[in-house]
Amino acid sequence: MLSVRILNQTRRLAVPTSAVGYNRKGDQPHAAPIAVKSIGKASNGVSVATLDGRGPVSSLALVIGAGSRHEEAPGVAHLLKASLVRARPGDNIVRTYREFEFRGNTLYTSVSRENIIIGSNFLRDDLVDVVPGLINQVFNPSFQPYEFLDALPGVSDETAASLADPTTRVLDTLHHVAFRRGLGNSLFATDRSLNSLKRSDLQAFASAHFTAEKIAIVGSGVAHDELEALVNSSFEGVSVPASSGAAASPASAYFGGETRISGAGPAHVAIAFKSGAFTNIHAHATSLVLRAVLDGTQRLKWGSTSGATGLLAKAAAPGTDITAFNASYTDAGLFGLFIKGNASNVKSVAQRGIAAMESVSSISDTDLSRAKKAAVVDAEVSLNRDDLIADIGRQVLTSSGFVTAAELAQEISKVTKEDVAQAAKALLASKASVVSYGDLTKLPYADEL
């Protein structure tokens, strides 16, 4: 009989009994116990967090609490993200690119509703070069007018390409309908906002948010002690204010409402309700399980596009799919249904989807068990290397700690049917946020759903 020894405990592997079935013998390990989780502070107060799986490839990012929710001038976060990598005094941008490129490393920037991120993926031995490279970009005092002007066309093209996708446009609009300001600010800088932005707006925004209390340096596949030492040495001679002294961004209030957008092609409709923040780990785990109970995603290449096991599988119609989604932030979240397909079917599909949410209280133990397993899989599969770094960073900035995939899986295992039923009830008790895109002569209004 095959066995594997883990931490002095023998775990028996599944023993095949037929070509299609297995008899499981004994407990199975929830996760390989190799990743080392560490959290600390640099000498200047910047948070440093690592999750070291001891592999040959490492990831590092500076996660900065300067996303679109913090904007006063619309589009400034998006434009700053595009301007983050630029020429340093006495150097030029080509050298920066070449240094990363010649080593086979990546260099990227991104912006979310809560954070701006600059990061890199590289071989473990290159940490000594990547740390100062990223820090020098974030705290680069040089910002030439031509660099500001050069970034504008690329940001405009990025916005146009992103909003040309109906799904992206609907979800971005959904946040505005739900929250109006803060989390409701658009991720994208429109041409109108770009025309009104000045270089001084970017400098003021960076000064207000590029502070020690709003920066987390996060590494995956790096040794914590080595990273912390390199961070401290790289910050020598760099002035990093502990805080800007400005008032903290207010919590995003939930409002709800409806917006309708005329467009060609298949209908896209999002129906969302007020959900909780990711900072409440049990409530967040419950939301993940509820999403998996409803599901609606294609889990097999040859399966139905709305799945076969979730409650939403029966809500779909030929040519019209429905799936559940969950978006959690520091102080609020959205949970809802997304419908895509024939505009004539949207009303009936949406009504069946709402009915499925109302019926969650009657799910069986088998359905809950399947959903909890699917929630664990989905939570980890949805995070690539860059997303994992971003997720750790946002947690560290909020709570000075972070939950690993294994710890989240343990919390998901504790979710009960009562938890899921109460979560669904609370969602449906809030005012809905509805965004419809497509042929508006056929799409129903929110009060008809």
- Structure token digits, residue 170: 């609907």
> What's the rounded mean pLDDT across residues 43-67?
92
Going from the C-alpha of 267 to that of each of 151, 171, 199, 263, 341, the distances in angstroms are 34, 13, 39, 8, 5
pLDDT digits (tens, 9 = 90+) for 87-117: 777 777 888 888 888 889 999 999 999 999 9
Q: How confident is the model at residue 229 (pLDDT cuts 50, 70, 90)?
A: very high
Widest distance between CA atoms in the chain: 71
Q: What residues contact residue 391 under an 8 Å CB cut-off, 6+ apart?
A: 383, 402
Q: What is the pLDDT of residue 15?
A: 41
How far apart CA 433 and CA 333 sit, in angstroms, is 12
Give pLDDT, residue 86.
84
Alpha-carbon gap, residue 271 to 339, rounded angstroms: 8
pLDDT of 33 over the 60 cut: no
pLDDT of residue 307: 62
* Per-residue model confidence (pLDDT) at position 21: 46
On the question of pLDDT at 32 being above 90, the answer is no
From 33, 39, 10, 3, select the one nearest 392 (Cα to Cα).
39
Lowest-confidence range among 1-5, 181-185, 338-342? Answer: 1-5
Looking at the chain, the whole-number percentage of residues with pLDDT higher than 70 is 90
Tell me the pLDDT tens digit for each residue of 398-408.
988 899 988 99
Cα–Cα distance for residue pair 137/109, rounded to 1 Å: 11
Residues 6+ apart with CB under 8 A from 101: none
Mean pLDDT, range 28-32, rounded to an integer: 55
- CA dist 275 and 366 (Å) reads 25
pLDDT score of 63 more than 80:
yes
Contact call for residues 107 and 100 (beta carbons, < 8 A): yes
pLDDT tier at 310 (50, 70, 90 boundaries)? confident
- Residue 420's closest CA among 371, 349, 350? 371
Token reading at 237: 């001679």
pLDDT score, position 88: 77
Selected residue with higher pLDDT from 307 and 228: 228
- pLDDT category of residue 252 using cuts at 50, 70 and 90: confident
Task: Say whether pLDDT at 24 is over 90.
Answer: no
How remote is the C-alpha of 443 from its chain's centroid? 30
Q: What is the pLDDT of residue 20?
A: 43
The yes-or-no verdict on residue 276 having pLDDT over 80 is yes
Rounded mean pLDDT, 178-195: 95
Instruction: Output phi, psi for 60, to 5 deg.
Output: -145, 140
